[in-house]
């Protein structure tokens, strides 16, 4: 059995071959800090070759899944310059790549905010279950930023046409719309129904042989067009340019000051 790393931003519970991972920064609606990114990547690496861990269930504490990137980290990066922004952005893309290719079945339980990076995580899950009132969206362009690391995974999940609409309007949508788009597989009306659906899905997953599932997932991902490391590297540069540019500065300041941004 894997030795699980010590985590400050995650709660871990391993039971019956299922590792429950709770994003645990409820004060920020589980915004994805650099520390949380690092802890998730270390956890995925620790269990990667452990077939006793059959499934990973990712959810969020405090009624929200994940509200996207952490603005405190963004402020720290600003003091260090454009390269720090590129590295911050690219680390999240690396997490998405590693989560996408985890040999285990990755199940996301989506409630409350599923925004930006949170939506990206949902898009690399094998199975996604949502509360009907969950709020999905790609808010980056409304902040003068770009969904740099997320966009390729969203396109792969729901197609180019719908991603264009969602990314270029920063529109919010609920669980029913996420189901229509093919972003999630099941939508439930309350926490009890969500828990029952998760139990049912886990029973199905645990019927399957772990090595066969790992090999099948690898085959399926190889059969589809994959977001490439080269594209994500380039996207991190574009993100750095956006966040340090006039629009990025205005958009993030407006968000912090709770006012509408003024685009030149």
Q: Domain containing 96 — which CATH number?
A: 3.90.226.10
- Given this model, what pLDDT does residue 226 score? 79
Q: Sorting pLDDT into bands at 50, 70 and 90, what band is 227? A: confident
Q: What would you report as the CA-atom Rg of the chain, rounded to the nearest whole angstrom? A: 18
Q: What is the pLDDT of residue 83?
A: 86
pLDDT in tens, 99-114: 999 999 999 999 999 9
Exposure string (b/e) for 7-30, b if CB count within 10 Å is 16 or more? bebbeeeeeebbbbbbbbbeebbb
* DSSP conformation letters of 196-228: HHHHHHHHHHHHS-HHHHHHHHHHHHHHSPPPP
Instruction: Give the whole-angstrom CA distance, residue 13 versus residue 218.
Output: 26
Domain contains 219 = no
* pLDDT score recorded for residue 37: 96
Q: Which residue has the tokens 């969203």?
A: 154
Positions of E strands within the chain: 10-15, 18-23, 55-60, 105-110, 113-115, 127-131, 135-137, 172-173, 186-188
Residue 258: inside a domain, yes or no?
no
Residue 249 lies in a domain: no
pLDDT at 264: 77
Return d(Cα 95, Cα 202) in angstroms, integer.
23
pLDDT tens digit string along 244-262? 899 998 988 898 899 999 9
- Give the confidence band of 2 by pLDDT, cuts at 50, 70, 90: low
Q: How far apart are CA 239 and CA 149, in angstroms?
A: 9
Report the C-alpha gap between 93 and 237 in whole angstroms.
Answer: 12
For residues 161 and 224, the model is more confident at 161
Average pLDDT for residues 154-173, to the nearest whole number?
Answer: 98
3-state secondary structure of 186: strand
Residues 12-38, mean pLDDT to the nearest whole number: 96
Q: DSSP secondary-structure letter at 5?
A: P
- 99, part of any domain: yes
Mean pLDDT of the residues in the chain: 94
Span 205-220, pLDDT tens digits: 999 999 999 999 999 9
Residue of 2 and 219 predicted with greater confidence: 219
- What is the number of domains present in the chain? 1
Helix axes 151-158, 160-169, angle to 10 degrees: 130
pLDDT tens column, 164-182: 999 999 999 999 999 999 9
DSSP-derived pairing of the beta strands 127-131 and 105-110: parallel
Average pLDDT, integer, range 63-74: 89
Task: Assess contact for 137 and 128: CB atoms under 8 A.
Answer: no
For position 79, what pLDDT does the model report? 77
Stretch 1-10: mean pLDDT = 87
Residue 127 phi, psi (nearest 5): -140, 130
244 in any annotated domain: no
- Please name which of 18, 36, 233 lies closest in space to residue 127, comparing C-alpha atoms: 18
Predicted TM-score (pTM) of the model is 0.93
Whether residue 164 lies inside any domain: the answer is yes
Tokens of 84: 């720090």
Longest pairwise C-alpha distance within the chain: 57
Residue 1 has pLDDT above 70, yes or no: no
Residues 186-203 have pLDDT tens digits of 999 999 999 999 999 999
Domain assignment of residue 261, yes or no: no
Report yes or no on 256 lying in a domain: no
Any idea which residue has 């019956």 for tokens? 16
For the cut 70, the answer to whether the pLDDT of residue 236 exceeds it is yes
Tell me which residue range forms the domain holding 201.
10-210
């Amino acid at each position: 059995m894997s030795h699980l790393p010590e985590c400050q931003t995650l709660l871990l519970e391993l039971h019956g071959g299922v590792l429950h991972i709770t994003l645990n920064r409820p004060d920020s609606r589980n915004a994805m800090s650099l520390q949380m990114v690092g802890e998730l990547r270390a956890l995925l690496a620790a269990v990667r070759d452990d077939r006793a861990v059959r499934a990973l269930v990712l959810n969020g504490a405090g009624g929200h899944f994940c509200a996207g990137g952490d603005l405190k980290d963004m402020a720290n990066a600003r003091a260090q310059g454009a390269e720090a922004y590129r590295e911050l952005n690219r680390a999240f893309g690396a997490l998405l790549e590693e989560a996408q290719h985890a040999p285990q079945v990755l199940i996301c339980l989506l409630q409350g905010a599923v925004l930006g990076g949170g939506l990206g995580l949902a898009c690399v899950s094998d199975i996604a279950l949502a509360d009907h009132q969950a709020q999905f969206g790609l808010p980056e362009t409304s902040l003068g930023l770009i969904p740099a690391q997320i966009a390729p995974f969203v396109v792969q999940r729901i197609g180019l046409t719908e991603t264009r609409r969602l990314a270029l309007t920063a529109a919010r949508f609920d669980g029913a719309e996420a189901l229509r788009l093919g972003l999630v597989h099941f939508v439930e009306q309350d926490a009890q129904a969500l828990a029952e659906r998760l139990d049912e899905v886990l029973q199905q997953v645990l019927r399957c042989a772990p090595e066969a599932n790992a090999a099948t997932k690898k085959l399926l991902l190889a059969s589809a067009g994959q977001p490439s490391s080269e594209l994500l590297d380039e996207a991190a540069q574009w993100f750095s340019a956006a966040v340090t540019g006039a629009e990025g500065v205005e958009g993030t300041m407006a968000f912090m000051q709770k006012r509408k941004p003024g685009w030149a």
